[in-house]
Amino acid sequence: MSESLLEALDTKTQRRLTSTILLTLPMVLLTAFMYVGGGMPHGWRATVPMILTYVFVNVLFFQMLRTGRTDKYRAAFFITMAITFIISFMTNLIEMRGSLVLSAADMAKGETPFCHMVIPMTIIPAALTRTIIFPGRILGGFADVATMFTLWIGATLALGRGFCSWGCFYGGLDDGFSRLRKKPLIKKISERWTYLPYAVLVAIVLLSALTLSPTYCAWLCPYKAVTEFAAITSSTVVVQTILFYALFIGLVIVLPILTKKRTQCGLFCPFGAFQSFSNKINPFEIRINRDVCKDCQVCAQKCPTFSLDRNSIENGRTRLSCMKCGRCVDTCPKGAIAYHVKGTPLTFNSQRARLLFIYPAFLFLVVFGGGMIRDGIYRILLLISTGSMIR
């Protein structure tokens, strides 16, 4: 009896492993094509990062499929992407402009890299004045407006606000810091503050339309602290710089550590608030099986983005701000939470919806972040071997 059971289990394990390998294979081939499609790189400093990135990406994806856990492996990629982005961005900027300092001349030349955070601020002024209120290049050059818009539209259709957990190259920072402590020191945050990102969105959209300048970038972006900064030429720039650092330390480092939540993404980021509305048109969502749910609230406690509360759990859905990171799906002790494709029957035991979501999501992460990780590793190797990260 027990032998046949072991045999059946073995067959089941083998079958599962085979299906995992088969499901990983397209990613293995796609990433191989992506990394060596343009030919093998020359020199060990370029080859090693390529191999490391390739292995890293595919091992994570394989593990994601094998274990059925999403958030753990997503986060490993997401956090690595954020760290290597900073390394890669800063060194590229120094190579391109000679400095991390953004001068008035650089802005006049349109050499400010465009990032997705600016998108909500550009819409009203673009409609009114037919101009993009950002001192970047529309086409060509490093991080131009057209490329970022195209990537954003693609990600929005495929992932909705999932972009914030699978595509944003900043999000990995507060995600990483939120994982440093085992237990949170601050447990209660008033629900009122979860509306702040929408308020910041309203304020910056109105003020950007009023001043015809990207207000968020000029005043509130915490990530200015780790990317580029304006040349300090006046007391205004000094105040702006102090604000950037204060927001970065507060929202990206200190509060995530104390709360175990992604406070910048969940309590402040106006782009995230803007992106939330795309969850309405995106085909993927997270659903809670009310028949199985025991109302233990573990998911609400664990959700790093304030996207689950008592009300939403009672309704069997997440809040609009859900970033589809998969933490709730992984942590629900009853397995009552699952990815779901809108318009299809609610079958909570099926892995199909999860697969349908993580394939494009992971692929987007690979496309967006693979290059950053590769370049980041390259820069680190360059630093070790030559003493400088700059070519």
- Residues making contact with another protein (CB under 8 A): 128, 192, 195-196, 198-200, 202-203, 206-207, 209-210, 215, 219, 235-236, 239
Residue 64: alpha-carbon gap to chain centroid: 17
Residue type, 386: T
State the minimum distance, in angstroms, from the CB of residue 235 to another protein: 7
Residue 345 — φ and ψ, nearest 5°?
-65, 150
Percentages helix, strand, coil for the chain (3-state, rounded to 5) are 65, 5, 30
56 vs 219 by CB, closer to another protein: 219
Q: How far is CA 3 from CA 6, 8, 10, 11, 308, in A?
A: 5, 9, 10, 12, 45
Question: Which helix (H) or strand (E) is 360 found in, with range?
Answer: helix 352-386
DSSP lists the bridge partners of residue 229 as: 101
Least distance to another protein, CB of residue 244, Å: 14
Closest alpha carbon to 375 in 62, 27, 100, 41 = 41
CB of 219 to another protein, least distance (A): 7
Minimum CB separation of residue 276 from another protein in Å reads 12
Strands 229-230 and 101-102, sheet pairing: parallel
Please identify, using beta-carbon distances, which residue of 246 and 296 lies nearer to another protein: 246
CB 361 within 8 A of CB 162: yes
Cβ atoms of 61 and 27 within 8 Å: the answer is: yes
Shortest Å, Cβ 199 to another protein: 3
Which residue lies nearer to another protein by CB, 204 or 252? Answer: 204
Q: How far is the CB of 215 from another protein (least distance, A)?
A: 7
Could you give the CA distance from residue 67 to residue 61 in angstroms, rounded to a whole number? 10
Structural contact between residues 34 and 370, judged by C-beta atoms closer than 8 angstroms: yes
To another protein, the closest distance from the beta carbon of 272 in angstroms equals 14
Which of 239/281 has CB closer to another protein? Answer: 239
Looking at residue 197, its amino acid is P
Choose between 149 and 219: whose C-beta lies nearer to another protein.
219
C-alpha torsion angle, residues 163, 165, 171, 173 (rounded to 10): -160
Q: Which residue has the tokens 């083998």?
A: 14
φ, ψ dihedrals at 118, nearest 5°: -75, -20
Pick left, alpha or beta for residue 347 (phi over 0 → left; psi -120 to 50 → alpha; otherwise beta).
beta
Name the residue with tokens 């998108």. Answer: 119
Judged by CB, which is closer to another protein: 206, or 232? 206
Q: How far is the CB of 206 from another protein (least distance, A)?
A: 4
> Which of residues 55 and 242 has its CB atom nearest to another protein in the complex?
242
For residue 216, the minimal CB distance to another protein (Å) is: 11
User: What is the spatial distance between Cα 271 and Cα 318, in angstroms, rounded to a whole number?
Assistant: 19
Nearer to another protein by Cβ, of 76 and 209: the residue is: 209
Nearer to another protein, 180 or 202 (CB): 202
